[in-house]
Amino acid sequence: MTQATVTESPQRTAPAGIKHDAVWSLSVAHLLNDLVTTGLVPALLPVYKLAFHLTYLQTGLIVLTSYFASSVMQPLFGLFTDRRPAPWLLPLGVFLANAGLALTGAAPSFGWVLLCVFISGLGSGAFHPEASRLTHLAAGSARGRAQAIFQVGGNTGQAIGPALIPLFILDTGVHGLLWFLLTGLLALAVTARLVPWYAAHQRAEQQRRHQVQGRNRVGAVVLLVFIVILRSWCQIGVSGFLPFYYTHQHIPLSHAELLTFLFLAAGAISTYIGGAWSDKLGRKWLLALSLVAAIPFAWLLPYAHGIWAALDLLLFGFTILASFAATVVFCQQLLPRNIGLASGLMVGFGVGAGGIGATLFGYVSDHFGVQLVFQWIGMLPLVAAVISLLLPSDKPLPWRRAA
């Protein structure tokens, strides 16, 4: 498999340049979506735990419910919209993502929290495949850069989420989450204006699928999904359990959440840089290099303290999340006939499987302590880096091109 190559299919109907208005609007919508789903939900675990008197396992179930709804539904929505594009899913999905999370602020019990979180995850699952497809359509020839702009919005939302805990939610409590109904309305307005443009280009998108060359590489996609799952476990381990780890060391929750913000903010920056670099370096090699670079920082995480912990989290977030946009584009290259499914697998199933990791980490924390979670995280980038070498190359290495 390592000797095979993947080539980019011709984009005969797409414009040569990026449609910046559409891509940046989608990036803003992605920010508002991931702010509440993958940003706030893991960061809210200590708040939910205190408000509803939960165990670590129950707090992990909150993330599992959110990510399960999103991860299972995204590939299904992707398959459906590969056949019948549904522009209306853009505004509806992102609104439900925000509204579901907001309503947990009025939930009377743990069961209602799970139901509202499920609705939020379902909305996110509906939003992502169509948003990623529209980004692909508006990208022109700069697929990596366009996908990076779109994904950096989501990663920025993930980073902002934990920062809102000490700045806002610790003062208001869970009832303050009701204010996110307003962000849902804002997201609805941002995406609704894109629906007419997307609907007008549906025919061009359908023609592109008929003209596309190349076959789906299912085996390579399975490996790529597994890598993204391991990367997602690193992310959910830090964003969901780092606050618990530091509070056990008598560090204030507000300080712990800000350290989580550093990790995710660095990832948001590297998402854009990595996506742009992948257009030149190649998706496989950008993925492999980012995973290798993350290994020492993942290993040092349980042992770093003070300013060294902040520096380690910055570098860990920058390296482990640099491949976020590149993996989406890579999967689209591996599944040229199913762009929606590819996006659903990468942003949905792969990332959403982090909910399984959250539940596993919750069980481990209950029985063996939170520190063991971060010792496990230290091994994940190494395993993922080894698997990445088995993927087909989309571009030869720079020195081989020169030769």
Confidence of residue 348 (pLDDT cuts 50, 70, 90): confident
Query: What's the CA gap between 285 and 74, in Å, rounded?
Result: 26
Query: What's the CA gap between 265 and 239, in Å, rounded?
Result: 11
CA distances from residue 150 to 5, 20, 135, 196, 268 in whole angstroms, order as listed: 26, 11, 7, 19, 11
Residue keyed to tokens 């409590």 = 173
Tell me what the mean pLDDT of segment 369-382 comes to.
85
* CB-facing half-sphere around the CA of 226: CA atoms within 13 A: 15
Tell me what the mean pLDDT of segment 356-382 comes to.
82
DSSP 76-136: HHHHHHHHS--TTHHHHHHHHHHHHHHHGGG-SSHHHHHHHHHHHHHHHHHHHHHHHHHHH
Whether residue 140 is predicted with pLDDT greater than 80 in this model: the reply is no
Whether residue 119 is predicted with pLDDT greater than 80 in this model: the reply is yes
Q: Which residues have C-beta within 8 Å of that of residue 72, sequence separation ≥ 6? A: 125, 348, 349, 352
Query: What's the CA gap between 213 and 10, in Å, rounded?
Result: 7
Q: What confidence tens digit (pLDDT) does each residue in 243-283 have?
A: 777 777 767 767 777 788 888 889 888 988 888 788 788 88
What is the predicted pLDDT for the residue at 15?
Answer: 43
What is the predicted pLDDT for the residue at 316?
Answer: 93
Tell me what the mean pLDDT of segment 353-380 comes to.
80
Tell me what the mean pLDDT of segment 342-346 comes to.
79
Whole-angstrom Cα Rg for the chain? 20
Q: Which residues have C-beta within 8 Å of that of residue 6, sequence separation ≥ 6? A: 214, 217, 220, 330, 333, 334, 392, 393, 394
Is-contact 345 316, C-beta < 8 A? no
pTM of the model: 0.71
Residue-wise burial string across 236-245, b where 16 or more C-beta atoms lie within 10 A, e elsewhere = bbbbbbbbbb
Confidence of residue 6 (pLDDT cuts 50, 70, 90): low
CA distances from residue 389 to 4, 317, 384, 403 in whole angstroms, order as listed: 12, 22, 9, 21
Query: What's the CA gap between 145 and 150, in Å, rounded?
Result: 9
Q: What is the dihedral of CA 133, 137, 141, 147, to 10 degrees?
A: -40
What is the predicted pLDDT for the residue at 173?
Answer: 78
Tell me what the mean pLDDT of segment 1-7 comes to.
52
Tell me what the mean pLDDT of segment 137-155 comes to.
77
Whether residue 1 is predicted with pLDDT greater than 60 in this model: the reply is no
List residues bridging with 5 in a β-sheet. 393
Q: What confidence tens digit (pLDDT) does each residue in 32-51 have?
A: 998 888 778 878 888 888 88
Where exactly are the structural domains of the chain? 20-402
Instruction: Tell me what the pLDDT averaged over the chain comes to.
Output: 81
Please choose, from the candidates 275, 227, 278, the residue with its C-alpha nearest in 3D space to the C-alpha of residue 387.
227
Tell me what the mean pLDDT of segment 23-40 comes to.
88
Please choose, from the candidates 297, 266, 261, 271, the residue with its C-alpha nearest in 3D space to the C-alpha of residue 374.
297
Query: What's the CA gap between 151 and 30, in Å, rounded?
Result: 7
Query: What's the CA gap between 358 and 269, in Å, rounded?
Result: 24
Whether residue 7 is predicted with pLDDT greater than 60 in this model: the reply is no
Classify residue 282 as left (phi > 0), alpha (psi -120 to 50) or beta.
left
What is the predicted pLDDT for the residue at 20?
Answer: 74
Please choose, from the candidates 370, 353, 372, 348, the residue with its C-alpha nearest in 3D space to the C-alpha of residue 57.
370
Is-contact 81 89, C-beta < 8 A? yes
Q: Which residue has the higher pLDDT, 348 or 313?
A: 313
Strand spans (E) along 214-268: none
Q: Which residue has the higher pLDDT, 2 or 161?
A: 161
Q: Which CATH number fits domain 20-402: 3.30.420.10, 1.20.140.10, 1.10.1060.10, 1.20.1250.20?
A: 1.20.1250.20
Tell me what the mean pLDDT of segment 191-204 comes to.
77
Which two three-digit tokens encode residue 314?
Answer: 């910055």
